[in-house]
Chain A
């Protein structure tokens, strides 16, 4: 059992790494940097600033931004900075190893410790404070069970690969050590959620995740917004992410408070139990309130997992460094909402079907909505962002339809497989961005400047293709098992509406992912019928098309060829590509995290007609994308869409993401700010009015009453004796008539 009881080491190892980096190696890095720049460097800096000055003043210069200032670079990384990275990687590797040992032990592959009890093991418990004479206690407790072990394996594995990858991606970044400090804090926050035994701890982790994502999304604080690409500045994006999460957290905390006020406990196991503190007992005859509470708790997941009304922060979060996007999308941030719902699944079951139906429909709507948006985007990372939103929608559908038999199994299984291929997609995108930055000397995420990159970066292209097939549900890849079982389950449950929506979304997913692959790495004229290589567009964009370049694009002075990324970046890609295939073959996953759930069976899957419906839909999506972008060619397709008013209109609407962000901006400008104007008026005229009115009344009274002071002794005397006479009369009356 020691293996289980020592697993707090996994939880606290990233925090330890954080402390070591912040107080140790980062200080080392800062103090060991060259204090004085050499004469050559100063001259170089001067030259650069002169160029920028000229550009800013030039006739075309208003869109120009200071690229070098956006991501401050150092000539070389100091030993302290490098050691920061090594510390994070080594510690995370150990944590990853430990969680794999736990996973293998609990699945029965290894037997180095006795089997884990079904209820799990509480590894740490501390009575924070006690209220009402011991009636209510606030306990900080960590707990592991199979669900937590599955999740911590994903978190530590993806974190490790992202840390490793960041060595290449963040090469020579001035904030290298700081970046690793934030990354470790991020992983710690997520592990805190994974290890949480009660709502109190999960909420702490929840907020820590919000904080660390804020820090990481806004990592390049000096970067400006790019209106031509419809991209906010990282500073804005980080605030947006923080605020969108706050909105969801309001619901989350109200939900927790409803549960706590009625049961008197935060503890998941106690809440799910049948005792006096369990929801079954506390909400007996009042299930509507429990349903409301669980929907409010789900609001937290809507914010954190970027579901429909609050998803807007996730595309903006693309402004962070790409490894951060991978971490956010695969393991640490958006997974928190799904994991939280899975963790509180018994409570959802207790709340009755409405709560889970709500979860499923929010997920389904988000899935199809985000997939629609992803169809037309030019921005590679934005496609991936919307694909994450869409896939998270699938996870919530899976959670919603799981029921008491499957539990959170389908949703968590998709989370599990998705973590690998989505991390892979983002790391590939990072590799592409790295290459494009080298080629065009500017940050380029727009696919109009890419195309045919498979020739230059074959490893990235192959791994991206693997992830594309996995996310599309191509047979025998991991997404095929996890996603199709969710779609099949909606049909089995009789929710035909959900079935149609998820099925259509699957087709759209296949379409936009293959579109992204072809537009980035291949194109018409490449080998294998346009699936490999092909013309590289470069700074010219889609030649001869009015929509083929960014608005205000000034071109690039000395273009170079893109190149494959260094091994620090490609090794994680290869590992994740393998994981993207094999992760789906853990058929016992449902039963592992939810005792009693049936295992997947390859024979059943392959003989089920619904599987083949799903495959056909996926192939329709893939084939349509292949036809449009590899056979017909993007230029021609784009021309047709551009010249057809209806298609052009639809294209513009989806390209602008249904103008939801603009709608929110309007709501905030006229709703929230309007309300604040009303409140400001209330403050000015009512609150200030009362204060100033009191002062004015006192002043006026003083001005008028001072005339009573005549200064004549005799008038005072009249007043004095008049008062005495009055008092005498009063006393007389009282004494005479009131006994």
Chain B
């Protein structure tokens, strides 16, 4: 693996173009004596969107944080763009995280900073000129249709707006991988649809690889059955019976991966748990 320190001008995601965006190899983790994830293995190919479903509390958020290197597994290996994040130091992970965006469950905006400073946080830490930061922040906020909230604080925003600002913060560096942790959790159906439309837009407009954690089946199937039309700039339903080819599913149950496949295979599965879960 090349020394990260030497590859100053090349994003880490481009150094091993043949490697998948994410690969979990036999990963297990437990907390306070309880197993949370038990020998999990799966891949997210470049440009692919994988939707991780499962009941509440099954370990979906833990899996996402493992992918970002926020947790270290008890056993197994995790690779992101060919780099073994499960073995990297925190300092090396900071470099790799420039190619990853993550949207946390409640947004996790810094409540003492304005929307502008939240979205431009990474750019401020890199000491970029203010004019460039402002321009890129406005561009990111325009994507989520919130460019009028620059000077507001998170406490002045609704739950849905906070989630959209969190998405803007995650995409400002145009990452090659985005991790979404229950992006619509706790939101009303209309706001949830707005958020999912943004996820679809990001998927189809930029071709970003993504791992989306959710327990809301309606959001998952909307992602599989809709696409962003670049000509009209609208989210449209795919023809009846077709699904987005780059979107597939993973299902977690009691710490194990019980399904890994396409939308069609999930819907037509004979597994008793899956049938009950999807009912």
Q: Do A and B bind each other?
A: no
